[in-house]
């Protein structure tokens, strides 16, 4: 789906490069979590995957198309949807359903097809009740779901999500993530930028960015097996608790980190 070779990108000629030689292959149907500190190049990489930026060095091929060739831009954008960090950046219409219809309308689809896609996107994002509401009267989390609905209405093959759950409450995040899971099972490729380790754990693969390069790449269990501490990601407190109980021999090896699992193993 994405084939990135030695890609580099600088926002200005003098500054430090945002990407500094990235090699990354992502297959169709994969769900990849892209993690790393602020400024490590995650968002830049996502923009390159969507042909929003062209690498200053190296190459990025999307579905076999060279993303640096302007002739391929429109084909790439139709198949690879990018959902930004801040939903306000991509809401264009004043009414929810009109905003979702904007993408399909621009593709020149027939009205029936547009309606079908809008209905489906609103259903998937749990926004049906809000379809006639003003886009700008929605809360932050609702706007974030609206931005996702707008992307889904394009029915893309791949979804690039840049911190797209940052404003959702825990319930909203759970429903957003289970929606992603469902889309992924149906074959959608997902590249998800996140700071939340609980979310990264749901992906099939974790890629760690550091100073514009890929610093680690592998499956979540290997990452959480202590490896992530090297990059100073926040350890969820329940993982810290699990670790502390194991180290002190209060729970047997192999106990899962869930609250109930740990309590049961403690045999209080």
Binding residues for another protein, rule: CB under 8 A, are 11-12, 15, 36-39, 43, 85-86, 88-89, 132-134, 137-142, 163, 166-172, 195, 232-234, 236-238, 240-241, 244-245, 248, 250, 258-259, 262-263, 266-268
Query: Considering beta carbons, is residue 132 or 187 the nearer one to another protein?
Result: 132
Pick between residue 74 and residue 137 the one whose CB is nearest to another protein: 137
Q: Residue 69 half-sphere exposure, CB side, CA atoms within 13 Å?
A: 9
- In angstroms, what is the minimal distance from the CB of 153 to another protein? 21
Q: CB of residue 182 vs another protein: minimum separation in angstroms?
A: 20
Shortest Cβ 122–another protein spacing (Å): 16
Tally: H helices and E strands in the chain: 10, 10
What SS3 string covers 32-55?
EEEECCCCCCHHHHHHHHCCCCCC
Q: How far apart are the first and last CA of the chain?
A: 51
Which residue lies nearer to another protein by CB, 76 or 209? 209
Beta carbons of 161 and 197 less than 8 angstroms apart: no
Q: Using alpha carbons, list the distances in angstroms from residue 44 to 1, 93, 135, 146, 244.
A: 18, 26, 28, 23, 37
Nearer to another protein, 112 or 268 (CB): 268
Q: How far is the CB of 28 from another protein (least distance, A)?
A: 29
């Amino acid at each position: 789906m994405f084939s990135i070779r030695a890609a580099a990108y600088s926002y200005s000629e003098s500054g430090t490069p945002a990407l500094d030689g990235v090699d990354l292959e992502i297959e169709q149907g994969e769900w990849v979590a892209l993690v790393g500190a602020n400024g490590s190049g995650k968002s830049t990489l996502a923009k390159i995957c969507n042909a929003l930026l062209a690498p200053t060095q190296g190459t990025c091929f999307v579905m076999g198309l060279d993303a640096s060739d302007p002739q391929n831009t429109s084909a790439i954008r139709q198949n690879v949807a990018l959902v930004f960090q801040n939903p306000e950046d991509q809401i264009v219409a004043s009414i929810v359903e009109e905003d979702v219809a904007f993408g399909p309308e621009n593709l020149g689809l027939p009205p029936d097809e547009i309606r079908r896609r809008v209905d489906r996107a609103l259903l998937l994002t749990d926004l049906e009740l809000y379809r006639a509401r003003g886009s700008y009267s929605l809360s932050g989390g609702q706007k974030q779901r609206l931005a996702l609905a707008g992307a889904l209405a394009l029915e893309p093959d791949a979804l690039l999500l840049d911190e797209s759950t940052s404003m959702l409450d825990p319930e909203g995040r759970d429903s957003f993530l289970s929606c992603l899971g469902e889309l992924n099972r149906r074959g959608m490729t997902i590249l998800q930028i996140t700071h939340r380790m609980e979310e990264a754990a749901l992906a099939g693969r974790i890629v760690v960015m550091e100073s514009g390069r890929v610093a680690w790449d592998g499956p979540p269990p290997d990452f959480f097996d202590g490896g992530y501490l090297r990059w100073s990601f926040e350890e969820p407190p329940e993982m810290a608790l699990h670790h502390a109980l194991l180290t002190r021999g209060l729970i047997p090896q192999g106990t899962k980190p869930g609250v109930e699992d740990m309590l049961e193993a403690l045999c209080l």
